[in-house]
Amino acid sequence: MMIRCSTRTVLAVVLGVLLASQARAQDYLAKVNAFYADIPAAKRSDTILLPALGALQTPPADIRDLNRARLLTPEMAAWKGAVEWAMKPPQRAAIEALNKATEPQKSGPPMSWGQGYGVASVTPELVRQKLYTELGDPPLLSGAQFEYLAKLDELCVLTNIEATRLQSEGKANEAVQIMLRTLVLGRQIADRQFFRESRWGLVTMLRSLERIRDVAYIDFRGKHLLTRDELVAVINRLDDKSDLRVDRILFPKGDIVGSEQAIALVMVPRAGINEKTFPTTMATLTTSERPLRLFSEAAGWKSAGASHADTAATSDEARKLADDYAKRWPLEWFHTLNSLPFERSKMDPVAFAVVAATVPDMSELFNLRQAVRTEMVGTRAALAIVGFNYSRKAFPPKLSSVAPEWMERLDIDPFNPTLANGNRPPLEYFVPLRDQPKDDKAEVKPYEISIVGDNGVNFSIKLRDDTCVIYSWGADNRRGWAEKVQNTVEKAPDVDYLIWPSVLSLYRQHLSEIGELK
């Protein structure tokens, strides 16, 4: 009788712990999902796009990689299959849904991706199609698997194929517009509440802006089909006063809330780790996408608990990281605080293993946002130069000549440190040969630019006066005349950030010349 009573007591305690864990988990989940509670149903882009994405067919194997899709041309062997795939009804429906989901709003807030996190926030059909965010049971925010992003990747492959198809049919503006829609989608996802989502959104914005300039460069080298009104419309759409405003991108808070949740689940208030929940919960969080490693991870976490800081210190550390990110996000790039190391880089990953495992290094978002800002400013300037050249049959004497005819005002170079004290330094601009200093024999050689690609491929190009060069000072904050360029926010000595000619176009041209595009 005593044994039976004891067993019931143990079961009751275990059940109580499970129910308490469930309740605590739901509290933190509700906190994150509350960020989307105020989005009107009519302004939710996810409810428009996801049903179409559920039917979207997987791209052919030879164009499944987005980088490959961006480089594809009608002369390549994979082109026929790519177009056949893109023209099938499910893919046409996805493009139509994208256009609706990214439609500029005449009044009120812009469209937003308002899907909540976890299975309770979506329909069973979206769960079946993996178009949601899986959190597990109990729902653990730090173990989130953003299943829907895989379909958005496929959509980006589709829009890039569609842009190439449209341009090949003489529809340059339609090609720009489909990439502009992809840019807007990226802007929507950039406002999401987790690091991985925000990073996806910012990277998509970067790639879309690159592709818009790529389309414009191909048109510039070809038939000059983009009209004045079409160019001005895109320039205005990219203005920093539009709904695409980079300075209004939200900083994600979900990872911080997830860290708070993990601390509550695996640590004891006014004490240290909970030996019963610490190893298994932390293993679940760190193997959410690699479940076969669960048991080995649990063993590792069991030993890690012995060196962990107490609950109060751990909570303070998580709060310190959150405050550091929150203080920096609204600041200008050259603010003094941004020159200091992030708090996360100074954290002891052993003493605060829970925080290290649940709060990613989100300094990357600051860099990506700066790159997007530079791409946005640069794309406006490049399109204005193209328009000026089409109308005047010549390049402007200086970049400021495009204002106010092509844009209301000239944008600043986000990487130029002289912008302090109210200065507005523009991007750098020159025309090869025309603006180069002549040697003693009055001979001017073609201008050579060495390009360090983000894919590890380095190459060089030689330019004449049939094009111009637009560049930013880049992360080293120095003017280098674009002799060596690398489009990155990571500091590298003596490199600039090339806007025009389009690096993507130049890279495609390079691969074609060496026989790599077939």
pLDDT digits (tens, 9 = 90+) for 70-96: 999 999 999 999 999 999 999 999 999
Could you tell me which residues come within 8 angstroms of residue 429 by beta carbon, excluding any fewer than 6 positions away?
381, 385, 398, 399, 468, 469, 470
Average pLDDT over residues 301-317: 87
Q: Residue 398, by phi and psi: left (phi above 0), alpha (psi -120 to 50) or beta?
A: beta
**Distance, CA of 214 to CA of 208 (rounded, Å):** 10
State the pLDDT at residue 10.
34
C-beta separation of 200 from 189 below 8 A: yes
State the pLDDT at residue 7.
37
**Distance, CA of 126 to CA of 122 (rounded, Å):** 6
Segment 448-470, tens digit of pLDDT: 999 987 777 899 999 999 999 99
Segment 359-368, tens digit of pLDDT: 999 999 999 9
Token output for 359: 């709060």
State the pLDDT at residue 457.
82
Task: Fill in the amino acid letter for 412.
Answer: I
Which of 444, 478, 479 is CA-nearest to residue 463? 444
- Asked if residue 15 has pLDDT above 60, the reply is no
- Asked if residue 53 has pLDDT above 50, the reply is yes
Segment 91-110, tens digit of pLDDT: 999 999 999 999 998 888 89
Question: At 289, is the pLDDT very low, low, confident or very high (cuts 50, 70, 90)?
Answer: low
Phi, psi of 207 (to 5 degrees): -65, -35
- Asked if residue 402 has pLDDT above 70, the reply is yes
In this structure, the number of other CB atoms found within 10 A of the CB of residue 96 comes to 12
Question: At 439, is the pLDDT very low, low, confident or very high (cuts 50, 70, 90)?
Answer: low
Whole-prediction pTM: 0.92
Instruction: Look at the block and give the residue holding tokens 């806007």.
Output: 499
State the pLDDT at residue 4.
42
**Distance, CA of 255 to CA of 259 (rounded, Å):** 6
Average pLDDT over residues 305-333: 94
**Lowest mean pLDDT, pick from 224-238, 413-427, 438-452:** 438-452
Radius of gyration, CA atoms only, the chain:
26
Question: At 138, is the pLDDT very low, low, confident or very high (cuts 50, 70, 90)?
Answer: confident
| % of residues, the chain, pLDDT over 70 | 91
State the pLDDT at residue 22.
53
DSSP code of 143?
G
- Asked if residue 273 has pLDDT above 60, the reply is yes
Question: At 24, is the pLDDT very low, low, confident or very high (cuts 50, 70, 90)?
Answer: low
Question: At 40, is the pLDDT very low, low, confident or very high (cuts 50, 70, 90)?
Answer: very high
**Distance, CA of 192 to CA of 198 (rounded, Å):** 6
Could you tell me which residues come within 8 angstroms of residue 379 by beta carbon, excluding any fewer than 6 positions away?
209, 212, 213, 238, 499
- Asked if residue 136 has pLDDT above 60, the reply is yes
Token output for 492: 């590298």
- Asked if residue 5 has pLDDT above 50, the reply is no
**Lowest mean pLDDT, pick from 55-59, 173-177, 360-364, 444-448:** 444-448
State the pLDDT at residue 19.
45
Question: At 159, is the pLDDT very low, low, confident or very high (cuts 50, 70, 90)?
Answer: very high
Which residues lie across from 452 on neighbouring strands? 458
In 3-state terms the chain splits into helix, strand, coil percentages (rounded to 5) of: 55, 5, 35
In this structure, the number of other CB atoms found within 10 A of the CB of residue 16 comes to 10
In this structure, the number of other CB atoms found within 10 A of the CB of residue 183 comes to 27
Token output for 271: 């004490």
State the pLDDT at residue 2.
40
- Asked if residue 17 has pLDDT above 80, the reply is no
Segment 184-215, tens digit of pLDDT: 999 999 999 999 999 999 999 999 999 999 99
Q: How many CA atoms lie within 13 A of 306 on its CB side?
A: 4
| % of residues, the chain, pLDDT over 90 | 73
Token output for 228: 């004045």
- Asked if residue 1 has pLDDT above 80, the reply is no
Helix residue ranges, H only, 72-117: 79-86, 89-101
Question: At 512, is the pLDDT very low, low, confident or very high (cuts 50, 70, 90)?
Answer: very high
Which residues lie across from 470 on neighbouring strands? 429, 500
DSSP code of 456?
S
Bigger pLDDT: 1 or 256? 256
State the pLDDT at residue 299.
64
- Asked if residue 399 has pLDDT above 70, the reply is yes
Say how far residue 129 (Cα) sits from the centre of its chain: 24
State the pLDDT at residue 490.
80
**Distance, CA of 135 to CA of 260 (rounded, Å):** 15
Say how far residue 433 (Cα) sits from the centre of its chain: 37
State the pLDDT at residue 436.
80
Instruction: Look at the block and give the residue holding tokens 């460069």.
Output: 217
- Asked if residue 137 has pLDDT above 80, the reply is yes
Torsion, Cα 434 437 443 449, to 10 degrees, reads -70
**Distance, CA of 166 to CA of 160 (rounded, Å):** 10
State the pLDDT at residue 73.
96
Q: Show me where the domains of the chain are located.
A: 35-247, 254-361
